[in-house]
Chain A
Amino acid sequence: MNFSPYGELNLMEKNGTIRKLAYCVMMTSITLGVVAIALLTYKPEAEFHSAAYSKSDYLEKMKTSLNSAKPEVLFVGNSMLECGLNDRLFSRLTGTRTIKMFRGGSASAVWYLYFKNIITKIENKPEKVVLYFRDTMLTKPEFRTKEQYLDYIKMLTTDEEPELELVLYNNGMSMSDSFMLQYFPFVYERAKTRDKLSNLIRGSSIEATTLYSAGYADLALKKTFEESNMDESLVTAVQLEAEKEIGKVTDDFEVLLERSFLPYIIELVKEADIELIMVRVRKRVYAEGQPEPQYMKDYIAGLKNYLESNNVRLLDYTHCKEIDASLFENGDHLSKQKGKDTFTIILANDFNKIYKAKGK
């Protein structure tokens, strides 16, 4: 019985055992050969082994710039901070020198490195650092650390990153990831090769069919798909789907805490005598009337207890009714004008209540 799916595609002829074997050997050799060449030509730059980092002056530039700004209050976060704080307005309302340091798509690994290698290393340290977060982000160390996020993480590292190695490499990764990274670090360099290949495909396609350069065509793609051209409701639906990962509570808070960067961040601010304030921002689903799940309430209760025991203030805006659904632009992002300013005013008022009453 011939089960061949593709007729002539059969790798094996019906006769000629030697030919069959020779063909199998040849095919395997070629495949292995290509992989071997890739391995031999690859110069390993192990991801979280600190000695192999190629240093850039990025950290120095960040430190210099922050040091000269002399912030009293420093906000740290990702795009939620970008859309959720008007720093000039906050500065005016609270009478403090306020700076925001954000990176779209960043998560706890990046924030930890901000604390370790920038904020606590500058001479003019801020008095207060405010960290914006959602759901379980503070205890999801592996979240947004792979693929396109990896390059930025590397830019923030120094020669010694034992905690980063420990948390990401040993605790935060699945067994398979850890194994691959340990023994086949080149696999994690695929992102670069993939980008190069994708650019090559795009570039050669456009140059072969038009008179335009690849760079100009890329600009056209960027302009065509820029945020202002997108349908807000459709983008929101996609973003909410992608964010489901951080809404999952996979274990007890205590277990998650042990594997996270949070204890290290708290240790760093204590040593540097910086006051840390956590801001849990309101998510769209809650503004739209969805109740907060019990497991999330339990998780936040655990987080709150832990933060309180370490003298870290948690400002939880999850149930802040003044931030209604109309203030959101896409996903969990507040609209850049009205939403941003509204939340900034709420936050500034709370700051004034807490600190001006204390006379700080």
Chain B
Amino acid sequence: MQYPASFLLTSAGAFAATGVDFIATWALFLRFRQVAGWRIGEVAVFYGVIGASFALADALTRGFDVFGEQFVKTGDFDRVLVRPRSTVLQLLGYELRATRVGRLAQALLVGYIGIRLTSITWSWTAWATLLFAVAGGMALFSGILVLQATLAFWTVESLEIGNALTYGGVEAAQYPLDLYARWFRNFLIFVVPLGCVSYFPVAAVLGKADRTGLPAQLLELTPTLGFLFLGFALWVWRYGVRHYTSTGS
């Protein structure tokens, strides 16, 4: 981090830029008051949770994000392999981007406002569930980025799918999933378990478990799927590294 002033400025810029996102939500609630029975405070909590998860995951896994471009293409990955540390750990610390800090701050702010606007009973389980949801979301997004990076072992072209799932995922999970069509909702629960790290746990915390048709206790545990997803992604990654070293790229 060479230029603290520029870092701060870029963070502020990112804060403003991602804040743009929420302007639409705010404007819509101002006019329509509610959507499918949800109010703005509640939606703000969804927004905060998923936004924070992604910002944190992205801050950590930047190395995976640019993996194809900066490590495989250039052959720099060979240097990473030579060092006596886990490849994952090495890529984790790669680059802390100012934009992510701004994003995180914005997500947390919106989430906090949401929490203040809703009438949640603030028990320890509520806080624990929220934190667990964010952690699970971090794991999930990290997993997506790791998978996208693993693709770089096989194809030279960086496929944009990862971006669609991460940014697109954040975009989709900002709102409670019961707004969406059935097929889309199922995709976001069973294929890429975004629902499990945002919709389910937050619905439980907000006392709206009945909307999901599942008991609250179960909902609070669903972020586990985020960790499982990450585990799967890391397994695929290890397979990819083995493939890379055996074929010599």
- Do A and B truly interact? no
| Contact surface of A with B, Cβ cutoff 8 Å | none
- Chain B positions within 8 Å of A, measured between CB atoms, are none
